[in-house]
Amino acid sequence: MGPLPSEKPIGHGNRGTMESLDTRPWSPRAGDRIGIDLDNTLADHDHLFVEVAREWGLLPSHSGPLAKSQLRPLIRHRPQGEERWIALQGEVYGRRMTSARLMPGAASFLDRCRRQGLAPWIISHKTHYAVLASEPLDLREAAMAWMAQQGFFADPGFAIPRERVLFADDRRQKLELIARVGCACFIDDLEELLIDPVFPTKVRRFLLHPAPTPLPVGPFQACRHWQEIEHALFHTSRPPSS
């Protein structure tokens, strides 16, 4: 992990000390740090999980599209399911990372951040190496290569300095990084992270929940897709209701 800026006070936003969700209208200001998770928030791997599961005979070849959250219980309930699930993740986040897609709407959001002078920080919980890979797979290197391939660091492109990508070994460290970077808000697909008791209370939380299940309710704003997050932050035209 590279050097971090000193803790940045948040000049506006939720000044309260209570855990409750601040629902007052809010928009980030130029210079604000916008924290964003990587896997399943910016990078879409759902099609790869299904593809590899079929190749490995863990799913019937005719099975239709499934979200990662729907596939996980199907694999885990099989014999040696936990090991297979871990191996599957290693394959998807390692060798197949180059085939991940940028989540629909994320490019528009990152473009807008750039135009408005906001600073996206990508903070990802990602182990360094795949645990059960036959050869060591550097998952962080694969993620950096994918972001480069998608134009994250290029100009023209999203022009995000590479130093603004931080990897955490576990959830606790990820939460520490979100606090230390001084994110004005954080966008993640994992509800468990956003409701963690040590999640920094001053950071506004956005949950990306594309799965076709009811939108969770909690100390965050839940959105179906990136267009809705863009609307919530920048008050752009309202996306079609979901």
Residue ranges binding Mg ion (CB under 5 A)? 37, 39-41, 189
Residues 5 and 179: their CA atoms lie apart, in Å, by: 11
Q: Give least dist CB 206 to Mg ion, A.
A: 13
46, 203 contact by CB (below 8 A): no
Q: Give least dist CB 193 to Mg ion, A.
A: 8
Q: Which of these, 196, 209, 176, 233, lies nearest to 4 by C-alpha position?
A: 176
Q: Among residues 58 and 194, whose Cβ is nearest to Mg ion? A: 194
52, 88 contact by CB (below 8 A): yes
Q: Among residues 39 and 46, whose Cβ is nearest to Mg ion? A: 39
The residues, any chain, with a CB within 8 Å of residue 1's CB and separated by 6 or more, are 166, 167
Interhelix angle 46-55/81-93, rounded to 10 degrees, is 120
Q: Among residues 10 and 43, whose Cβ is nearest to Mg ion? A: 43
Q: Give least dist CB 55 to Mg ion, A.
A: 23
Q: Give least dist CB 189 to Mg ion, A.
A: 5
Torsion of the alpha carbons at 27, 28, 29 and 33, rounded to the nearest 10: 180
Q: Give least dist CB 230 to Mg ion, A.
A: 18
Q: Among residues 41 and 227, whose Cβ is nearest to Mg ion? A: 41
Q: Among residues 207 and 232, whose Cβ is nearest to Mg ion? A: 207
